[in-house]
Chain A
């Protein structure tokens, strides 16, 4: 087990290096740079000398290997530097947004796990009954409906419902407050995007739970458990569920990591200042340092989530634990 963990941790390193190389060079393939955009971006005339000065200040005139070394070294000592666009420290720019995105990802995961595992299980046990059909419609709808559309519907629904029952329309707050400061205000803002994204997420996980469980229920050891005369609920809980959770855990891990960086449109709908929006802006601005930092953070989240998923695997499956 100890060896397994060490191996997984060491495996993270090449992934991070690969990501660093890719993002560094791909960014520099995009034509134009942040200085042109900042000084002459809106079609104004800019003094070439001024642009050149800007480049020198930001280190863009350094040789590529030096720039790369700077970037990697900065990441290594956890100093992400300043944004090339705003000039403010990247940790400052990212701080609250990261917190927000992380919270939405966690809440959506919570919603999804809470819904999908019981629903997928019931659906598999009651295969081809009306319960199963209802669950399947629910989950196919969840996959078909884009989260941002559901988000819009939620906001409209809230407006209409509050108008009707309270007399004045109410919208979720736009300003992010830490859950430690004002838990209610925080929830009032973030519960809606969590539900909107959590629904699609739970739909994917429900289908996975259902099909994995159906597969496990056809295994020989389930027949053995039946032949022992065990209660059906013991057969499901003790013999089947643990085996069927492996693929579900994978899906949950992938979705969680995706939520951390990929929520661009949903963030727009709810007017959230999350990582997704910052990501898009930084790429549009050719803000190399910011984009690099964001990519590395998202990759780190992915890699770490994978690690947690691997730990779950080991916990679920003794063949991995002792392998």
Chain B
């Protein structure tokens, strides 16, 4: 049986006056039915673009998916007509965006924004859609749903709005939800609530989840599998356990040092990843992480390493991946 979603060798680029931005530069990964997959990386590494590419929501111009394949339940999404992809959007694959403050339409009621998906995709009449909307608001933990339906987004707090976004995503019981940094814009205390909610709902409803984040701490608790992205490429992949306890890429290591860890003594201060993220318009044939890398060798400038196994199901794109896993353990 084929996986739910299979992305193969995907390239998405933006053609701008400053040059071609190689935002997604040949990524491949799969999502199995019902599982939670994380995509982690610094801001600007192509996470959002890779997510938007799945639903073909890349603004064109300036962007375009130039190569690759995205198979969803056996269908090639990149081959679908505009009409066909619209039936996938919101119905089979739904999205939750980063900015709850701006992702809801300020001039339409919450009710309208919830029910329009239902009437559009599921041909519900107004009463049925309203009943379902009430049910959904209740499900995502919004109190007094009857009143909320008539309210506008500015009446709601950020956390509430993100709950509404989640309710919207769940509307048509999709097979897959893509959540693009769903908690980055929220208060720390709310973040955990929202993540728990998503975890619980997707598990109960058997929905697969792609969760995008720049916070490895989030990943450890919520993801079955993790893809670490750097400069448009996946540079390490493994289970949450692999990534957290035996990282095999210097970038992942650096990321781990930048988040607080429960399983280690508290350090004086966290190290952000040193150096600047690379300019995606001027990538060369070498490894894009080498200017910031502590383990750099001559070969890194000549050839960009491919994603290759270090153990069963754990892959890394680093020439020094084997050396990395030995001495580092001792050092930490």
Query: Which of A's residues lie within 8 Å of B, judged by CB?
Result: 218-221, 223-231, 234, 238-239, 242-243, 316-319, 322
Could you mark each residue 159-176 of chain B with 1 if its beta carbon is under 8 Å from any beta carbon of chain A, else 0?
A: 000000100100000000
Contacts of A228 in B (CB 8 A): 89-90, 94, 116-117, 120, 168
Tell me if B2 is interfacial: C-beta within 8 Å of chain A: no
For residue A318, give the distance in angstroms from its CB to the closest CB of chain B: 4
Q: Is B87 in contact with A229, judged by CB distance below 8 angstroms?
A: yes
Majority secondary structure, A binding face: helix
Contacts of A225 in B (CB 8 A): 105
Can you report 5 A-B residue pairs in the complex whose CB atoms are below 8 A from each other?
A: A220-B97, A221-B104, A224-B165, A230-B116, A243-B107
A218 to B105, CA, bound (A): 12
Out of B57, B94, B117, B152, name the residue touching A223 (CB < 8 Å).
Answer: B57
Contacts of B152 in A (CB 8 A): 318-319, 322
Q: Is B95 in contact with A227, judged by CB distance below 8 angstroms?
A: yes
A229 to B105, CA, bound (A): 15
Contacts of A220 in B (CB 8 A): 97, 99, 102-103
Residue of B103, B105, B120, B165 most packed against chain A (CB within 10 A): B105
Could you mark each residue 276-289 of chain B with 1 if its beta carbon is under 8 Å from any beta carbon of chain A, else 0?
A: 00000000000000
For residue A316, give the distance in angstroms from its CB to the closest CB of chain B: 7
Out of B57, B102, B120, name the residue touching A226 (CB < 8 Å).
Answer: B57
A238 to B112, CA, bound (A): 10
Please give me the residue from chain A that is nearest to B100 by CB atom. A220
For residue A112, give the distance in angstroms from its CB to the closest CB of chain B: 24
Majority secondary structure, B binding face: mixed
A239 to B103, CA, bound (A): 12
Q: Is B120 in contact with A242, judged by CB distance below 8 angstroms?
A: no
For residue B24, give the distance in angstroms from its CB to the closest CB of chain A: 17
Could you mark each residue 97-124 of chain B with 1 if its beta carbon is under 8 Å from any beta carbon of chain A, else 0?
A: 1010011111110000000110011000
Residue of A218, A228, A230 most packed against chain B (CB within 10 A): A228
For residue A133, give the distance in angstroms from its CB to the closest CB of chain B: 16
Tell me if B75 is interfacial: C-beta within 8 Å of chain A: no
For residue B115, give the distance in angstroms from its CB to the closest CB of chain A: 11
Known: A224-B97, A226-B89, A228-B120. A243 touches B105 (CB 8 A): yes
18 further A-B pairs in the complex, CB-CB below 8 A; given A223-B57, A227-B95: A218-B59, A221-B106, A224-B97, A224-B103, A224-B104, A227-B55, A227-B89, A227-B94, A228-B90, A228-B94, A229-B90, A229-B91, A229-B117, A229-B121, A230-B86, A230-B90, A230-B120, A243-B106
Out of B55, B57, B107, B117, name the residue touching A317 (CB < 8 Å).
Answer: B107
Q: Is A238 in contact with B57, judged by CB distance below 8 angstroms?
A: no
A318 to B113, CA, bound (A): 15
Q: Is B120 in contact with A318, judged by CB distance below 8 angstroms?
A: no
Tell me if B4 is interfacial: C-beta within 8 Å of chain A: no
Please give me the residue from chain A that is nearest to B93 by CB atom. A227
Contacts of A219 in B (CB 8 A): 102
Contacts of A317 in B (CB 8 A): 106-107
What 3 A-B pairs come out closest when comparing CB atoms? A229-B89, A229-B90, A228-B90
A127 to B111, CA, bound (A): 32
For residue A76, give the distance in angstroms from its CB to the closest CB of chain B: 40
Contacts of B89 in A (CB 8 A): 226-229
Please give me the residue from chain A that is nearest to B178 by CB atom. A227
Residue of B87, B88, B99, B107 most packed against chain A (CB within 10 A): B107
Tell me if B154 is interfacial: C-beta within 8 Å of chain A: yes
Q: How many residues of B contact A (CB 8 A)?
A: 29
Please give me the residue from chain B that is nearest to A226 by CB atom. B57
Out of B91, B117, B154, name the residue touching A319 (CB < 8 Å).
Answer: B154
Contacts of B154 in A (CB 8 A): 318-319, 322
For residue A73, give the distance in angstroms from its CB to the closest CB of chain B: 45
A75 to B99, CA, bound (A): 53
Please give me the residue from chain B that is nearest to A127 by CB atom. B61
Known: A239-B105, A319-B154. A229 touches B88 (CB 8 A): yes
A133 to B87, CA, bound (A): 33
For residue A237, give the distance in angstroms from its CB to the closest CB of chain B: 12
Q: Is B97 in contact with A229, judged by CB distance below 8 angstroms?
A: no
For residue B296, give the distance in angstroms from its CB to the closest CB of chain A: 39
For residue A243, give the distance in angstroms from its CB to the closest CB of chain B: 6
A239 to B107, CA, bound (A): 8
Cβ < 8 Å to A, chain B residues 307-325: none
Tell me if B203 is interfacial: C-beta within 8 Å of chain A: no
Contacts of B86 in A (CB 8 A): 229-231
Could you mark each residue 186-214 of chain B with 1 if its beta carbon is under 8 Å from any beta carbon of chain A, else 0?
A: 00000000000000000000000000000
Please give me the residue from chain B that is nearest to A315 by CB atom. B107
A80 to B88, CA, bound (A): 68
A228 to B59, CA, bound (A): 16
Q: Is A223 in contact with B108, judged by CB distance below 8 angstroms?
A: no
Tell me if B155 is interfacial: C-beta within 8 Å of chain A: yes
Known: A229-B120, A317-B107, A319-B106. A223 touches B87 (CB 8 A): no
Could you mark each residue 68-89 of chain B with 1 if its beta carbon is under 8 Å from any beta carbon of chain A, else 0?
A: 0000000000000000001111
Please give me the residue from chain B that is nearest to A319 by CB atom. B154
A225 to B106, CA, bound (A): 12
Please give me the residue from chain B that is nearest to A225 by CB atom. B105
Contacts of A243 in B (CB 8 A): 105-107
Out of A231, A238, A319, A322, name the residue touching B108 (CB < 8 Å).
Answer: A238
For residue A197, give the distance in angstroms from its CB to the closest CB of chain B: 31
For residue B124, give the distance in angstroms from its CB to the closest CB of chain A: 14
A316 to B108, CA, bound (A): 10
A218 to B57, CA, bound (A): 12
For residue A217, give the distance in angstroms from its CB to the closest CB of chain B: 9
A238 to B152, CA, bound (A): 15
Q: Is A227 in contact with B57, judged by CB distance below 8 angstroms?
A: yes
A106 to B89, CA, bound (A): 45
Please give me the residue from chain A that is nearest to B171 by CB atom. A228
Please give me the residue from chain A that is nearest to B155 by CB atom. A322
A257 to B115, CA, bound (A): 41
Q: Is A224 in contact with B105, judged by CB distance below 8 angstroms?
A: yes
